[in-house]
Amino acid sequence: MRVILGIILLVLLPKLAWADNFTVDKVYHPYVLPFEREVEWRLTSRQSDDGGNILMQRFSFGHALSEYTILEAYIVGSRDEHGDFGTAGYELELRSMLTEQGQYWADWGLLFELEKQNASNDWEFKGGVLTEKELGRFSLTTNILLVYEWGDTVPSEFESELKVKFRYRWIPEIQPAVEFYAAEDFVGIGPAFMGIKRFDKQKQLKWEVGFIAGFNGDNKDHTLRMAMEYEF
């Protein structure tokens, strides 16, 4: 626990800008099933006090490169100012499990993402550490990420993200949680629920839903997020 808090403080103390491009999204667990394949759908709907609404969806297919590493390819869609929905970008994601579950005091993993915008030559690279610590029937999951953006329409700069999930493992199908997100001009917290339905062998269906309320001075910034993932 002290090590996790120390890592969080190291991320918070440097004078870096917090990433602000849709920080409220999936909180990653540091686990990979041996030679798994998966398909996933994610939705995030962000509403601010100026009446604006940003709707994004992600569709992905992943295939394990080994029993510890999986590569996923994403198509990212968003709704524009005219209400039309189209392709916003493309993303490659690599996740690696560094330790066996329960091997040490916490489970560790790595995450790397490379994203390219569809309509411009803008790029984003993200990398960081994933941890999960079991505390009885509770689990504490943290994502500590460093982001670098560059391109034609965005300044070249480093940013950082912090995502935390505190989850109660009630039953596999229903697991309530509290999630916390921090980014530039955004700090948010709210309830979330997730569940897992297991089938034959390593086939399983995961679902998640969460509502994150922003606390940014007088601004209201609320995000609804949903996800469905099938692993086989």
- The rounded distance, in Å, linking the Cα atoms of 184 and 173 is 34
59-106 tens-digit pLDDT: 999 999 999 999 999 999 998 666 778 999 999 999 999 999 989 999
Contacts of 210 (CB under 8 A, 6+ apart): 177, 179, 190, 191, 192, 193, 224, 225, 226
Question: pTM of the entire structure?
Answer: 0.87
Pairing mode of beta strands 53-64, 107-117 = unpaired
Q: For 10-58, how does the pLDDT look when each residue is reduced to its tens digit (9 = 90+)?
A: 444 343 444 444 689 999 999 999 999 999 999 999 887 666 788 999 9
User: What is the mean pLDDT of the segment spanning 207-212?
Assistant: 97
The single residue listed with the structure tokens 């709210």 is 190
Q: What CATH topology corresponds to 2-231?
A: Porin (2.40.160)
Residue 184 pLDDT greater than 70, yes or no = yes
Confidence of residue 1 (pLDDT cuts 50, 70, 90): very low
Q: Residue 187's CB: how many other CB atoms inside 10 A?
A: 17
Categorize the per-residue pLDDT at 9 as very low, low, confident or very high, splitting at 50, 70 and 90. very low
CA 197/CA 204 separation, integer angstroms: 6
Distance (Å, whole) CA 40 – CA 34: 18
Write out pLDDT tens, residues 106-138. 999 999 999 999 989 999 999 999 999 999 999
> Quick one: pLDDT at residue 16?
40
Indicate if the pLDDT at residue 4 is higher than 50: no
Predicted pLDDT of residue 49: 64
Provide the greatest CA pair distance for the chain: 51
pLDDT tens digits for range 162-181: 999 999 999 999 999 999 99
pLDDT value of residue 149: 95
Residue 201: per-residue pLDDT: 84
Contacts of 3 (CB under 8 A, 6+ apart): 106
Among the listed residues 84, 143, 75, the one whose alpha carbon sits nearest the alpha carbon of residue 110: 143
**In sequence order, which residues have a C-beta less than 8 Å from that of residue 101 and are 6 or more positions away?**
31, 107
What pLDDT, in 10s, does the model give residues 136-158? Answer: 999 999 999 999 999 999 999 99
Q: Give CA separation, 219 vs 50, 85, 198, in Å.
A: 9, 26, 41
